[in-house]
Amino acid sequence: MAVYTDVAADELAEFLQQYDLGELLSYKGIAEGVENSNFLLHTSKGSFILTLYEKRVAKNDLPFFLGLMTHLAEHGVSCPLPVKAKDGEALRELSGRPAAIITFLEGIWPRKPNATHCAGVGEGLARMHLAGANFAVRRANALSVSGWRPLFGAAANRADEVQPGLRAFLAAELDDLESGIWPTHLPEGVIHADLFNDNVFFLGDKLSGIIDFTFACNDMFAYDVAICLNAWCFEPDHSFNVTKARAFLNAYGRVRKLSEAEEAALPLLARGAAIRFLLTRLVDWLNVPPGALVKPKDPLEYFRKLRFHQSVSSARDYGLMPSGLVA
Ligand SMILES: Nc1ncnc2c1ncn2[C@@H]1O[C@H](COP(=O)(O)OP(=O)(O)O)[C@@H](O)[C@H]1O
Ligand SMILES: N[C@@H](CCOP(=O)(O)O)C(=O)O
């Protein structure tokens, strides 16, 4: 359960007086997520999500996240809407943390994603990429190549406690990714940057909404594609599922076609996407705050994914045909 900061009932009731959300009927900490503290609120006016933004979220970035949700919702993406308080502002403070209330989205995230889910995510991701086109605010990706070395530094001394040899493995991979091979001229725009299965809701087989924009930023669209390949197209035994990948890439390509350069860069981007989540998970694994209600995620899942991508020589291994058509 991700609740790093607890909120007392009387404190919350007082906080809610700043809004036009009626009376607080009940609330509970949400048993999912690892980044922020989230609460489900039931008020006399409906259900809402309260988020207290924690360690990895810079307060200055919050207008980007909240503005982006509003922009995307206005451009046809099903995502939560920030709720404005009576003074017109959505961003506030509670328990010493930046806080915001967003609308509740119906649906459930798929525990065992199938190829149909993967196709839904491909289409949804591409639609999100197009919908973000005119969003005027910019946010650099703090967790791209230059952000990985500091994460490594925070975990290096104890990395071998998690797996012998992990420190040397990560050091070598970072050296390679920092050596100038990271793409710089691929199409860019607003990316979600964390579109894992617990951030995509479905009603039946149909995607009903996308949540959790706290890593969203401006970066390469194909990097977002690579993040999703990692998050959606591997099995619990860590084997790559080319059928899911093909379904995902095919559906993405029907809405926004990947260029040849983007396709060619996918194996490299997937390595970067893997080390990024390996490193944040490793740091979190080694630094669970005392008293926090959180279940850290397994860093070694991403070690295995990274090893897989190191063995990939072309995007054909992900189910893409050389012509750019998908089999
Ligand atoms: N707008 C929403 N509607 C419904 N449930 C939500 C919404 N936002 C978050 N949740 C629930 O809270 C969980 C954690 O939210 P998430 O944003 O992923 O956490 P974190 O802020 O730690 O990244 C989600 O898996 C989901 O169950
Ligand atoms: N998706 C990340 C963790 C952060 O996302 P959250 O949505 O679970 O808070 C990972 O799997 O490492």
DSSP letters along 122-164, please?
HHHHHHHHHHTTT-----B-TTSHHHHHHHHHHHHHHHHHHST
Pocket test for ligand 1, best of 1, 27, 38 (most atoms within 8 A of CB): 38
Q: Which atom of ligand 2 is nearest to the CA of 199?
A: 7
Is residue 209 within 6 Å of ligand 1 at its C-beta? no
Q: Which residues contact 104 (CB under 8 A, 6 or more apart)?
A: 40, 46, 47, 48, 49, 80
Element (H, E) at 226: helix 221-232
Q: Which CATH superfamily is domain 115-318 in?
A: Aminoglycoside phosphotransferase (APH), C-terminal lobe (3.90.1200.10)
Q: What is the pTM of this model?
A: 0.93
The domain ranges of the chain are: 9-103, 115-318
Which pairs with CB-CB distance under 8 Å and at least 24 residues apart come from 47-51? Answer: 47/104, 48/21, 48/83, 48/101, 48/102, 48/103, 48/104, 49/80, 49/101, 49/102, 49/103, 49/104, 50/7, 50/12, 50/94, 50/99, 50/100, 50/101, 51/99, 51/100, 51/101, 51/102
- C-alpha 66: how far from its chain's center? 15
| Any ligand 1 atom below 6 A from CB of 57 | no
Distance 37 CA to ligand 2 centre (A): 13
Domains 9-103 and 115-318 share a fold: no
Query: How many angstroms is it from 34 CA to the middle of ligand 2?
Result: 6
Instruction: Classify domain 9-103 by CATH number.
Output: 3.30.200.20
Q: Which protein residue's CA is at the shortest distance from atom 7 of ligand 2?
A: 33
Q: pLDDT 10s per residue in the chain (327 long)?
A: 366 788 999 999 999 999 999 999 999 998 777 788 999 999 999 999 999 998 778 889 999 999 999 999 999 999 999 999 999 999 999 999 999 999 999 999 999 999 999 999 999 999 999 999 999 999 999 999 999 999 999 999 999 999 999 999 999 999 999 999 999 999 999 999 999 999 999 999 999 999 999 999 999 999 999 999 999 999 999 999 999 999 999 999 999 999 999 999 999 999 999 999 999 999 999 988 777 666 789 999 999 999 999 999 898 999 887 554 454
79 Cα: distance to centroid of ligand 1 (angstroms)? 11
Our answer on whether the CB atom of 43 is closer than 6 Å to any ligand 1 atom is no
